[in-house]
Amino acid sequence: MAQIRKIIHIDMDAFYAAVEQRDNPELRGKPVVVGGDPNSRGVVSTCSYEARKFGIHSAMAARQAFLLCPHAIFVRPRFVAYKEASRQIRAIFHEYTDLVEPLSLDEAFLDVTENKKGIQSATRIACEIKNRIRQVTGLTASAGVSYNKFLAKVASDMDKPNGLTVVPPGQGEEFVANLPIRKFHGVGTVTEGKMLSLGIKTGADLKKWTVEELNRHFGKAGAHYFNIARGIDDRPVEPSRVRKSVGKEVTLGRDISDIGQMLEILENLSGRVAEYLQGHGDKGCTITVKVKYHDFRLVTRSITLPEPIDSVGKIMDEVPELLKKTDAGKRKVRLLGVSVSNLKEKEQADRHSPIQRYLPFP
Ligand code: TTP
Ligand code: MG
The CATH number of whichever domain residue 133 belongs to comes to 3.30.70.270
User: Residue 290 half-sphere exposure, CB side, CA atoms within 13 Å?
Assistant: 18
Does position 347 have pLDDT exceeding 80, yes or no?
A: no
Nearest CA to ligand 1 atom 5: 14
Query: Is residue 204, in this structure, part of any structural domain at all?
Result: yes
d(CA 239, CA 103) in angstroms, rounded, equals 10
Q: Which of 116, 148, 166 is the last residue of a domain?
A: 166
Q: How many domains does the chain have?
A: 3
Q: 148 with 233: CB under 8 angstroms?
A: yes
Which ligand has the shortest distance to the CA of 160?
Answer: 1
**1 and 96 housed in the same domain:** yes
Best residue among 10, 11, 15, 89 to mutate for probing ligand 1, ranked by most atoms within 8 Å of CB: 15
Does position 242 have pLDDT exceeding 80, yes or no?
A: no
| Alpha helices for 46-121 (secondary structure H) | 49-52, 62-68, 79-96
**179 and 271 housed in the same domain:** no
Tell me phi and psi for residue 147, to 5 degrees: -105, 5
Q: Which of 132, 151, 166 is the last residue of a domain?
A: 166
Does position 360 have pLDDT exceeding 80, yes or no?
A: no
**275 and 204 housed in the same domain:** no
Does residue 65 or residue 348 have the better pLDDT? Answer: 65
Share of the chain above pLDDT 70, in %: 93
Q: 10 with 92: CB under 8 angstroms?
A: no
**88 and 118 housed in the same domain:** yes
Burial of 81 (0-12, 13-18, 19+ CB in 10 A): middle
Full DSSP string of 251-283: EEEEEE--HHHHHHHHHHHHHHHHHHHHHHT-E
Does position 241 have pLDDT exceeding 80, yes or no?
A: no
Query: Is residue 118, in this structure, part of any structural domain at all?
Result: yes
Query: Is residue 358, in this structure, part of any structural domain at all?
Result: no
Does position 279 have pLDDT exceeding 70, yes or no?
A: yes
pLDDT in tens, 26-38: 999 999 999 989 9
Which ligand has the shortest distance to the CA of 49?
Answer: 1
Ligand 2 midpoint to CA 168 (Å): 23
Q: 137 with 129: CB under 8 angstroms?
A: no
Best residue among 16, 45, 46 to mutate for probing ligand 1, ranked by most atoms within 8 Å of CB: 46
Ligand 2 midpoint to CA 37 (Å): 22
Mean residue pLDDT across the chain: 91
CATH number for the domain spanning 283: value is 3.30.1490.100
Give pLDDT, residue 245. Answer: 86
Ligand 2 midpoint to CA 238 (Å): 20
d(CA 283, CA 290) in angstroms, rounded, equals 19
Does residue 222 or residue 352 have the better pLDDT? Answer: 222
pLDDT in tens, 79-127: 889 999 999 999 999 999 999 999 889 999 999 999 999 999 999 999 9
Tell me phi and psi for residue 267, to 5 degrees: -70, -40
Give pLDDT, residue 345. Answer: 61
The residue segments making up the domain with residue 272 are: 245-350
Give pLDDT, residue 327. Answer: 96
Pocket of ligand 1 (CB under 6 A): 11-16, 45-46, 58-59, 104, 106-107, 160-161, 268, 272
**152 and 181 housed in the same domain:** no
Give Cα 307 distance to the centre of its chain: 26
Give pLDDT, residue 188. Answer: 80
**284 and 325 housed in the same domain:** yes
pLDDT in tens, 117-161: 999 999 999 999 999 999 999 999 999 999 999 999 999 999 999
d(CA 216, CA 197) in angstroms, rounded, equals 15
Look up residue 284 and give its DSSP letter.
E
